[in-house]
Amino acid sequence: MADSARGVARWNKIIRGAGIDFELQLPHRGFNRQIGEFASVRVTPDGKIVSNEVWEAAAHDWLPTSAEREFVGSLMKPATLTGEYAGWLTPPARGINHQALDFDYVRLAG
């Protein structure tokens, strides 16, 4: 969690430096837990324990909806050909160790 906090602090510094009035925040460690000490309680992103009714009424504001999950899933198309990149990635300017962009880094057996 400390690594995440440092990462968020770094991004917030970059955001502030760009003059953007926005701040990233990590949710409370009990938010949306399914196991462990918080599994039996409903905790909001800012750490408030709420009833099941309050949770159900607001969870769509905090968590991805099934439609949003489906959309993200639709983006997850495999890229398995040499020189091919996943649709959500920008191809790099050059390959690793200055190899060509279509260098065959991985050879699949079969």
CA gap 85, 104 in Å, rounded: 13
- pLDDT value for 90: 85
Chain-centroid distance of CA 53 in Å reads: 27
Above pLDDT 70, what percent of the chain? 99
Mean confidence (pLDDT) of the chain: 91
Dist CA 25 CA 90 (whole Å):
26
Q: Say which amino acid occupies 9.
A: A
Q: What is the pLDDT of residues 1-55, one digit of tens each?
A: 789 999 999 999 999 999 999 999 999 999 999 999 999 999 999 999 999 999 9
Q: What is the mean pLDDT of residues 95-109?
A: 83
